[in-house]
Amino acid sequence: MAVPQLFRCPGYEAVTRDRLGPELVKNAVILGSGPAAPSVGPLLADDTIVIALNNAHRASSRVDFSLYADDLPPAQRHPHTAVIGRSSPHYSPALQHFGGILHCGSTMAFNAGYWALLNLPFSQISYFACDLHYPQGRSHFYGLGRPDPLRRDVSLQSLPALALRLFFFGLQHQVLFLNASAEPETRLCLPRVTTGLSLRRRLLEGRRALIEDWLERLRPQAEAALALEAAAPFDARRHDYWVYDDDDRVWNHGRAVAERWLALAAPVDRIGAELAERFAALANAADEPPLNPPADVASCP
């Protein structure tokens, strides 16, 4: 499935990937509302684009785009007109383009990922404070919040599988999705990178060869998952997908698709380990410490 070569978004000049150049690294951070959200500052360079989800705009003075669910009360949305707000009429077309909301997952973390992948000319997109994990006591930087991704929803049967799907679609379009969180638990199964921005840029200047290698490793499992998605006995692109809530066919098919995507977990863990080794070597050569202390991070479930 090809992404259109022309990327358009209000606030940006229309650009093509060819004109940007094959090795130009443009960085974005998708900021969630996890407890660590206010500490995002060291991740941001002057040219980093910040995409804040729902209430996350309250955690950072740097916000370029504010993406929010339609049911977020207006009083909780970003108040400044200079920030570009986006709701479902803006990100739904990206979900449709990449296979439909049932396969992409109906929650803001994935809405934002696919929206950025389709609309903005980035080479690297890092999630921060967006682990889809909600510890008791303080689930969000502002206290207790609603764990929306954990609701009973036919499109959200496996959050790790949905993250692995997004990672593969990113690689297909020369975009690297990373998880910049140092939290010990996560359902956002992307390679963990907690190293400073300058090192990430130096490594990813030569990312094309790396990405081609990773694609070759992941393609057999991913193609099996995509083939099963294509064989869905229902319309995965319905906006009113909740009509399937009591349809066992849809739930069973979703579980089967998730199992196929979860087959990418081990190879993506290995990719993450390889990235960590490369960053460690760069850090030693540059005498630059990690951005965050190394975390005892378990593999994705």
In angstroms, the CA 279 to CA 260 distance is 30
> Is residue 295 domain-resident?
no
26-65 in b/e form (b: 16+ CB < 10 A) is bbbbbbbbbbbbebbeebbeeebbbbbbbbbbebbebbbb
Name the percent of the chain lying above pLDDT 70.
70
| Per-residue confidence (pLDDT) for residue 22, from 0 to 100 | 44
Query: Residue 133: pLDDT band by 50, 70, 90 thresholds?
Result: confident
If one compares 171 and 237, the residue with the highest pLDDT of the two is 171
> Is residue 291 domain-resident?
no
> Is residue 139 domain-resident?
yes
CB atoms closer than 10 angstroms to residue 255:
13
15-30: average pLDDT: 53
| Per-residue confidence (pLDDT) for residue 177, from 0 to 100 | 94
| Per-residue confidence (pLDDT) for residue 212, from 0 to 100 | 92
Q: What is the CA radius of gyration of the chain?
A: 18
> Is residue 159 domain-resident?
yes
Query: Residue 80: pLDDT band by 50, 70, 90 thresholds?
Result: low
Per the prediction, the chain carries an average pLDDT of 77
What sign does the dihedral 184-187-192-197 (CA atoms) show?
Answer: negative
> Is residue 296 domain-resident?
no
| Per-residue confidence (pLDDT) for residue 50, from 0 to 100 | 87
CB atoms closer than 10 angstroms to residue 19:
11
Per residue in 206-259, pLDDT (tens digit) is 678 889 999 999 999 999 999 999 999 888 888 788 888 889 999 999 999 999
| Per-residue confidence (pLDDT) for residue 288, from 0 to 100 | 55
82-104: average pLDDT: 75
> Is residue 19 domain-resident?
no
Q: Could you tell me the residue range of the domain that residue 161 belongs to?
A: 25-286
If one compares 26 and 178, the residue with the highest pLDDT of the two is 178
Residue 4 above 60 pLDDT?
no
Give the chain's length.
301
Exposure of 169 in the CB half-sphere (CA atoms within 13 A): 26
What total number of domains does the chain contain? 1
| Per-residue confidence (pLDDT) for residue 191, from 0 to 100 | 92
> Is residue 18 domain-resident?
no
> Is residue 4 domain-resident?
no
